[in-house]
Amino acid sequence: MKLVSWNVNGFRACLNKGFEDIFNEMNADIFCIQETKMQPEQADFSPEGYFKYFFSAIKKGYSGTAVYTKQKPFNVIFGIEDKHMDEGRVITCEYEKFYLICCYTPNAQNELKRIDYRMEFEDDLRNYMLKLNKIKPIILCGDLNVAHTEIDLKNPKSNRGNAGFSDEERGKFTELLDAGFTDSWRYAHPDITGVYSWWSYRFNARKNNAGWRIDYFVISDRIKENIIETDIYTEIYGSDHCPVALDIEI
C-alpha cells in the first residue's frame, strides 16, 4: 500500500503548479494534504476512483487538511476527540487493519509565541494515538513542524531554540516515539543527512538545500518491519514542501 503526504501551502495555488499530474503519477492508495488554505467548495479536484475528505479552518485561507483515498474508510473523525476543531488540523480515517491520521501540527511561531498551545496539541495527539493504538496500528502522516534531531536540518546550531527546533518541540516528538511509535524514514535511513522536506522561500534556501525534514510518516512500532520503502521527493516542486511517501504492507 502506497501513501503520500504533502503540505501544498495552498491547494488552489498548487493545482496551478502541476499538482494533478503529480497526483496521477504517484497513484497512491491514500494521498494526504496539509495547509489547504481553502474551503472544500473552493477547488474542484475530484479524481476518479478516490473518496475525498476535507477539514477546513474556520479562518479563511488558513491551515486545513484533506485526504484522498481509494478505499472508503469505515469511519472518518475530525479533530482530536472533539478538541482542536477550529483550524482543520487532524483527520482520522479508520480502515479494517489500521488508522490513518493526517495531521498539520501548529507552528510555534516566532519567539515561540504559540508554544503553550503547541504543547497542548502534542499531548492531546499523543494520548489520542495511544488510545487508538490499543485497537489497531496507526499511520500518522503530515507536516509535524519539527526537525527531531540535528541531522534533520541543515543549520542546527543557528536554529537551536527556534520554532520547529526548540527543545520543547523536539522533546514532544521524542515522547511520541518513546510511547510506541517509529519515524519510518529515519528507521529506514538512520544515518542519511542532507535530505529535507521543507525549505524557506528566502535566501535561495532550496537552491542551497538549506532545508528541514519536518514531514513524516510515524507508524506504530509493531508494523515497522512491514515497511517496504520510504521516499522524500526532493525533486518535486509546487510548494515550499515536497511530498513524502511510505510503501508498507498492512
CA angle 205, 209, 214 (to 5 degrees): 90
Contact 145/172 with Cβ under 8 angstroms?
no
Query: Would residue 216 show up in a list of annotated catalytic residues for this protein?
Result: no
| Sign (positive or negative) of CA dihedral 82, 112, 198, 98 | negative
Pick the catalytic residue from 53, 68, 128, 143: 143
Number of separate helices (H) and strands (E) present in the chain: 6, 14
Contact 144/215 with Cβ under 8 angstroms?
yes
Q: Which three cell numbers stand for residue 24?
A: 496521477
Pick the catalytic residue from 53, 95, 104, 216: 104
For residue 85, which amino acid is it? M
Query: Would residue 143 show up in a list of annotated catalytic residues for this protein?
Result: yes
In our burial notation (b when 16+ CB lie closer than 10 A, e otherwise), range 66-96 reads: bbbbeeebeebbbbbeeebeebbbbbbbbbe
Contact 138/99 with Cβ under 8 angstroms?
yes
The Cα 249–Cα 199 span in angstroms is: 31
For the annotated catalytic residues, the residue numbers are: 104, 143
